[in-house]
Structure 1
């Protein structure tokens, strides 16, 4: 019997992401009949330098939007920019045919912000530092 090598690492590996992503896409297409996985980024940039200041990264696939990362610098928080970016993410997901969206945040980050924007908690898992937890949220689009 062939012995396979298992490798654990902490570096981004474009080849690995391509192999795994392509394999998953082929499997999904075989079962669902299509593969519509696409990145979805909503960025805020400096108007003069065009430098990325913050925003949202995520993806859409099979009728679902996944919000992966969302960050704004302190100078933009409380300005309404966060809500504007979140709405743009949700609107684009709807345009792509998504019926719902999911994300997770940490209890000391922004669960209240998301709830204010119509997201609903569906689970929590304890994490570090002690007393905090991951908050899993969804929204019907």
Structure 2
């Protein structure tokens, strides 16, 4: 009887700037299954606070992120310039944090860029974890976190 073939083919690697959404979903879902197997916790959920134009009803800004394993991740946060400084951004962030608390999250994480909004987040209780230099020179990615303990007045 011939020996079994133990040769394993090497997977192909493809570098792309245009991944197919189904491929991204496959990776995300596989990682989620791995995390569930390791933790026994199945709680990953998207979280978004969307800003709709009152006339067109189209989304014109907002916050997107996700909650998982007791953490709230802020992925994207954008408001058109004409809505900045109105208090709307703070309200969007407050609503997202409140929803994360309701889902059992104890902390939140995000990154921003030095020319974006680190001051905005600091004013709302976020703390700097660290920075990584990026382009253009003199610019950094700023990694931030916030404890999401129960807000004052939320307790019985």
Q: TM-score, normalised by structure 2?
A: 0.87
Shift of 1:53: 1.3
Q: Provide the aligned length of Structure 1 versus Structure 2.
A: 141
Q: TM-score, normalised by structure 1?
A: 0.96
Once residues 26 and 84 of structure 2 are traced to their aligned partners in structure 1, the CA distance between those partners, rounded to angstroms, is: 38
Once residues 111 and 138 of structure 2 are traced to their aligned partners in structure 1, the CA distance between those partners, rounded to angstroms, is: 17
Q: Which residue of 1 aligns with 2:139?
A: 132
RMSD over equivalenced CA pairs, Å: 0.9
Q: Which residue of 1 aligns with 2:53?
A: 46
Once residues 80 and 121 of structure 1 are traced to their aligned partners in structure 2, the CA distance between those partners, rounded to angstroms, is: 22
Cα deviation 1:51-94 (Å, max 9, x = unaligned): 11100011110100000111100110010000000001100100
Which of the two has higher C-alpha Rg? 2
Shift of 1:119: 0.1
Superposition map of 1:77-96 within 5 A: 77-96=84-103
Once residues 90 and 144 of structure 2 are traced to their aligned partners in structure 1, the CA distance between those partners, rounded to angstroms, is: 16
Q: Does residue 116 in structure 1 map to residue 151 in structure 2?
A: no
List 4+ stretches of structure 1 deviating above 2 A: none
Distance 1:12 1:41, change over 3 A: farther
Once residues 33 and 58 of structure 2 are traced to their aligned partners in structure 1, the CA distance between those partners, rounded to angstroms, is: 36
Shift of 1:48: 2.2
Once residues 77 and 25 of structure 2 are traced to their aligned partners in structure 1, the CA distance between those partners, rounded to angstroms, is: 24
Q: Does residue 34 in structure 1 map to residue 41 in structure 2?
A: yes
List runs of 5+ in structure 1 lacking aligned partners: none
List runs of 5+ in structure 2 lacking aligned partners: 1-7, 149-156
Q: Which residue of 1 aligns with 2:152?
A: none
